Amino acid sequence: MKEQRTIDAASCALAQSAQADQRLNCTWIANGENEGLEILELLVDPHGEGMRLDRFVALAVETMSRSYARQLIVDGHILVNRCDAKPSQELRVGDRVTIQRPLPQPTDIVPEAIPLDVVYEDQDVIVINKAAGMVVHPAPGHVSGTLVNALLARYPDMIISGDMRPGIVHRLDQDTSGLMVVARHDEAMQFLGEQQRARKMHKAYLLVVEGHFKQWEGVIDAPIGRHPGQRKRQAVVTNGRAARTHYRVLEELGNYSLLEAVLETGRTHQIRVHFAYKSRPVLGDSLYGPRKPRATFGLQRQFLHSYKLGFVLPASGVWREFTISLPNDLAVVIEKIRASAQVR
């Protein structure tokens, strides 16, 4: 990583005839590159006092639109004082704004004939049962073998606005299996995106966690943001983004519990972070679980499966709900846990 350098926004003065849409007159200096990200940094001076974060960034970076700045903030790539922020956050003199801007990637995604389990498709959407181990879209370190590569081979006409993540409405972690919906064109992408933002999609998961709950139903309401010391992890932090997970115990299995979890919000790693925060880590989770788990039952990944997905279809306006059973590896583990619980 290159030597870190900071820009003092005192040099970023507004031009004398400042207008609402005029850019901050400053020169950006890259702090370096790290895992496909260009790191940029600003210190807020009096010219930025009281300004919304998304507007401040858009004015400071000539090549960045306000909508793109807002998306980077939502995705956790723009931090204020090393903490997650909201696009509407008002800045104060001395605030440190860090922008982790994804480096340009090749615009051509190579279609790959990778088998897909298509649960439903029409002219607007595709519902996929994603296999565990498959990365959703190309990223540094994963330029091929992704769901997007497979989709473009099967649906060559679905590239949306030249995006590196064509049609991807929501994501599943690499080692999480189950249902996802993909848009086939821009109008469907916008329609589904609006449902996602309005929290009108129904997304339910099956998972096994270590331990039991006093109440068989509950809500985990705890804000999530980037872990202060480990960049690849998320954590429950005071100034994180609002996150709510509803859960219901389906079965107690010895020292474990089989749950249904329903997402009210969709933060990165939300289910895994929330249950680890409650000291009930997801079985097999190598990132958020214990270093030495009580048992693995031969599981090679976290026991987390997106088994139910509901949304309104773009063309008909009809609500559709899809369900999918546990994949074989998780079904085998459930039986092993049940057998172990009976022996006890």
- Residues in a beta bridge with 34: 37
Residues noted as catalytic? 173
The dihedral formed by the CA atoms of 287, 291, 294 and 296, expressed in degrees to the nearest 10:
50
pLDDT of residue 27: 36
pLDDT of residue 67: 77
The 10s digit of each residue's pLDDT in 254-266 is 999 999 999 999 9
- pLDDT for residue 271 is more than 80: yes
pLDDT of residue 343: 64
Span 258-284, mean pLDDT? 96
Q: Residue 12: pLDDT band by 50, 70, 90 thresholds?
A: very low
Q: Are 258 and 305 in contact (CB under 8 A)?
A: no
- pLDDT for residue 317 is more than 50: yes
Domain with CATH 3.30.2350.10 in the chain: 118-197, 202-343
pLDDT of residue 102: 72
Quote the tokens at residue 30. Answer: 């890259």
Quote the tokens at residue 231. Answer: 């960049």
pLDDT of residue 1: 40
Count the neighbouring beta carbons within 10 Å of the beta carbon of residue 218.
14
Question: Which residue has better confidence, 30 or 302?
Answer: 302
pLDDT of residue 109: 81
- 118-197 adopts what CATH topology? Pseudouridine synthase (3.30.2350)
Domain with CATH 3.10.290.10 in the chain: 7-102
The 10s digit of each residue's pLDDT in 119-169 is 999 999 999 999 999 999 877 677 788 999 999 999 988 766 556 677 888
Q: What percent of the residues of the chain are helix, what percent strand, and what percent coil, each to the nearest 5?
A: 20, 30, 50
- pLDDT for residue 270 is more than 70: yes
Which CATH number does 7-102 carry? 3.10.290.10
pLDDT of residue 97: 92
In whole angstroms, what is the distance from residue 74 CA to residue 78 CA?
8
Percent of the chain at pLDDT > 90 equals 57
How many CA within 13 A on the CB side of residue 75?
13
Architecture (CATH level 2) of domain 202-343: 2-Layer Sandwich (3.30)
Which DSSP category does 63 fall into?
A: T
Among 83-87, 106-110, 176-180, where is mean pLDDT lowest? 106-110
Q: Residue 193: pLDDT band by 50, 70, 90 thresholds?
A: confident
pLDDT of residue 11: 35
pLDDT of residue 82: 87
Among 11-20, 25-34, 195-204, 240-249, where is mean pLDDT lowest? 11-20
Question: Which residue has better confidence, 155 or 109?
Answer: 155
Please report where in the chains the tokens 């680890």 appear, as a residue: 276
Average pLDDT, the chain: 85
pLDDT of residue 164: 60
Q: Are 33 and 1 in contact (CB under 8 A)?
A: yes
Nearest Cα residue to 259 out of 221, 206, 218: 206
User: Can you give the pTM of this predicted structure?
Assistant: 0.72
Quote the tokens at residue 323. Answer: 């369900």
Nearest Cα residue to 270 out of 219, 324, 200, 335: 219
Nearest Cα residue to 94 out of 43, 59, 53: 43
- pLDDT for residue 192 is more than 60: yes
